[in-house]
Amino acid sequence: MITKLTKAILVCFSLVVLTSCSVEDGKDGQDGVGFEEIAKFGAVNLKLTGTRPDNVPFSKTTAFKFTSVEGSDYSSSNSVQFNGDNLTFNVLRYLSSPDDVFQESTVSFNLDVTNAGLASQTVLLNSFRIENFALIGDDLKYFVISDNYSTTNAQISDYNFDNEKNKLDFKFSFNVPAASNDSGHDLTVEGEASVIVLELINNN
């Protein structure tokens, strides 16, 4: 039979165990959480609105927030290049962890800014690609978008680049005709980029 003293000892032991455990144990990735390093450079939030190949309307908003950690990838996936008053941004973000070869659903773009900060400044979205992105409906049916888009009709707003933090922010929207995307119907692409980009140090 368990005595009152034994019960008291067990209760005290349980309290010690509970109070010694906290969410702090997992915040640095040691206990299974560890995406901070590949998510620290910001995200591209993407909204797609259109009609599926089976004629069902859809609207899907998704955050692509992971960056490759390989140095050789940065120039094409998370960079800014300065050329006088002109800037070129190359950005690519993964939907899931890029460390797995099977996680290759991405969104990427190239953005050129001419005469940055001047009255004659222009911002041009030169290219935009969605790669291997599955749109899954509530009815558990899906189709895959993997397209390069013409962005000649792209609307850019709220552009800002913080030189000290290398932080790029802007909103975008453009329409894609049925013949130029995998849905087979007219598609509206819109969203917002809020990313931190890197500048390569030249050693020559």
If we measure between CA atoms, which residue out of 125, 124, 132, 135 comes closest to residue 47? Answer: 135
Query: Which residues have C-beta within 8 Å of that of residue 62, sequence separation ≥ 6?
Result: 45, 46, 47, 48, 95, 133
Domain layout of the chain by residue ranges: 36-196
Quick one: what percent of the chain has pLDDT higher than 70? Answer: 80
SS3 15: helix
Model confidence over 93-120: pLDDT tens digits?
A: 999 876 556 678 999 999 999 999 999 9
Query: Which residues have C-beta within 8 Å of that of residue 69, sequence separation ≥ 6?
Result: 37, 38, 98, 99
Please tell me the distance from the alpha carbon of residue 45 to that of residue 64, in angstroms, as a whole number.
Answer: 6
Tell me, yes or no, if the pTM score tops 0.95: no
Quick one: what percent of the chain has pLDDT higher than 90? Answer: 67
DSSP H helices in the chain: 4-19, 36-39, 74-77
> In terms of DSSP bridges, do strands 106-114 and 155-162 run parallel, antiparallel, or are they unpaired?
unpaired
Whether residue 22 has pLDDT greater than 60: no
Please tell me the distance from the alpha carbon of residue 68 to that of residue 100, in angstroms, as a whole number.
Answer: 11
Whether residue 15 has pLDDT greater than 50: no
Please tell me the distance from the alpha carbon of residue 62 to that of residue 74, in angstroms, as a whole number.
Answer: 23
